[in-house]
């Protein structure tokens, strides 16, 4: 299991998970219910993240995510953490 993307919202995390699964990469979302912990942990630790099941899929997953992110129109109000696994 390897984290490949930190999302700004659960919706974004599940969108990325779907993108990866459509390409044959087994992925899952973790931490989507941590937002209510704001008082106990740093804000950046409350964002949901996407992991791939097999570590060897991580590089391909990050390439797919990067291609997807480049194709998206800029949105300054998205609030997305979107760091492509660069934790």
- pLDDT value at position 46? 72
Helix then strand then coil, % of the chain, to nearest 5: 45, 15, 45
Domain assignment present for residue 51? The answer is: yes
pTM above 0.85, yes or no: no
- 55 belongs to a structural domain: yes
Range of the domain at 67: 2-71
Percent of the chain with pLDDT over 70: 71
Q: Flag whether 82 is in a domain.
A: no
**What does the radius of gyration of the chain's CA atoms come to, in whole angstroms?**
13
17 pLDDT above the threshold of 70: yes
Please calculate the CA angle 42-86-14 and round it to the nearest 5 degrees. Answer: 80
Residue 83 lies in a domain: no
At 16, the pLDDT band (50, 70, 90 cuts) reads very high
Instruction: Using pLDDT thresholds of 50, 70 and 90, give the confidence band for residue 74.
Output: confident
Number of domains present in the structure of the chain? 1
Q: What is the CATH number of the domain that holds 20?
A: 3.30.70
Cα 32 to chain centroid distance, Å, stands at 10
- Across the range 3-14, mean pLDDT stands at 92
């Amino acid at each position: 299991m390897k984290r490949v993307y930190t999302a700004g919202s659960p919706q974004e995390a599940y969108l990325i998970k779907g993108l990866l699964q459509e390409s044959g990469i087994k992925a899952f979302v973790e931490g989507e219910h941590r937002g209510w912990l704001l008082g106990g942990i740093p804000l950046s630790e409350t964002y949901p993240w996407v992991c791939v099941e097999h570590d060897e899929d991580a590089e391909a997953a990050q390439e797919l995510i990067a291609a997807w992110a480049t194709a998206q129109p800029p949105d300054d109000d998205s609030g997305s953490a979107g760091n492509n696994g660069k934790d």
